[in-house]
Structures are given as C-alpha cells and as structure tokens.
Amino acid sequence: MIREATTYKLKIDKQFIESELPKGVHIVVLQATRIPPHIGMIMDKKYHSLSIKGQDINTAVSALIKNSSIRKIPTLFIKIKDHPTFSNLYLSEHFITNIQQFKRVDIGVASCMSPIKLFFEEVYNLPMTDINYLFDLLPFLSEKGLIESVSAFNMDQKEYTLPVYSNKEINDGISSVRKEYKDNTY
C-alpha cells in the first residue's frame, strides 16, 4: 500500500542549552537538513545510535556536541516527556539492548530507526507497525503527548519541516555512506 506522506512541522520552542541535554530522554536528529537524516537518542547523559559503522553506545553528550560544532552539523533535540515509571538509567539500558539486536545499519536489515521503534514499542507500549520514517514517528509521538520540547543546534530556523523521503533514499544513503566508509578504511 502506498500512502502519501504529509508535511509535518516542528516548532523549535526552546533555546539550545547543552547542560540540559543530559537530563531526560531526547531523540537526536543529526544532519537534520539531509535526506534522510540520522537519528539516535540521548538517555542518562549518553548518546546511543545504530549506524553504518555499527553500534554507537555510551558516547558522551559533550563529544556529540563537539563533533556537531566542529563539523557544523544541523542537529535537532526532541525532549521526550519523562516516563511515568522507569528511571533514565533503566531507559538507557533498555535502549542499549534494543541497539544490540542489530549489528549495524544495513539495507534490508536495519536502519537507525529500527532500535528506536523497538524502544517506543516495548517501553511506552506504542504500536510501531506503521512507523517507518522520522516523518511518521514525530507526529505520532506528538499526537500521544510525548514531545515536551524541541531545540536546535547549528540551525537558525524557528520551525523545522521534516523531510519526506522513501525507502529508496534510505537505501541509497546507506550505500553511499557504506562506500565512503569502506574507501576510508584500510
């Protein structure tokens, strides 16, 4: 079934303050203006994601910000409302186990969205069957009342329009980065 994606806009409603990132749970959208963007999560003071290189677990938030600053990477931080039951430490450990279910991002196997879908399905008991892209996920989380605030780094916009993309663009992006990664590995 082919469905038409609708444009979804997020209001950037909070000033970026690095010291607030370690508090709570954040979805991080790296290369926010690229199609497709890369997504990961900050929990319990650490950044975690699944990438072409593999499992990126327990990266210091300061290292993420430093890299984004040096490379001028447009980055969004979407703060998720506190879980009513689970601690941030538990959430972080749970998300790490979600990431560890995949070796790395690969065509037909997993995308950076894969562990995030598992996380929201298992921890928040949300049906994620029809959620395949960031432009599906964020409106869904907003509808469920889970988005607390949005801040941006290396972006001047007051509103962020989620890029609409397809599986083909994800696969092309994976192939391109995979080739670049292999070319730079000795």
For 74-132, the pLDDT digits (tens) are: 999 999 999 999 999 999 999 999 999 999 998 888 999 999 999 999 999 999 999 98
> What mean pLDDT comes out for the span 126-141?
93
> What mean pLDDT comes out for the span 173-182?
70
For 132, other C-beta atoms within 10 Å of its C-beta total 15
pLDDT, mean over the chain: 88
| Residue 166 included in any domain | yes
- Asked if the model's pLDDT at residue 174 lies above 50, the reply is yes
Coil, strand or helix: which one is 116?
Answer: helix
pLDDT of residue 157: 83
Amino acid identity, position 155: M
What total number of domains does the chain contain?
1
Burial 67-102 (b: 16+ CB within 10 A, else e): ebeeeebbbbbbbbeeeeeeebeebbeebbebbeeb
- Asked if the model's pLDDT at residue 3 lies above 90, the reply is no
Percent of the chain with pLDDT over 70: 92
| Residue 1 included in any domain | no
Structural domain including 23 reads 9-183
| Residue 20 included in any domain | yes
Put simply, whether the predicted model's pTM sits higher than 0.85 gets the answer yes
> What mean pLDDT comes out for the span 149-156?
92
For 148, other C-beta atoms within 10 Å of its C-beta total 15
pLDDT of residue 10: 86
The residue with greater pLDDT, 143 or 9, is 143
| Residue 19 included in any domain | yes
| Residue 4 included in any domain | no
| Residue 54 included in any domain | yes
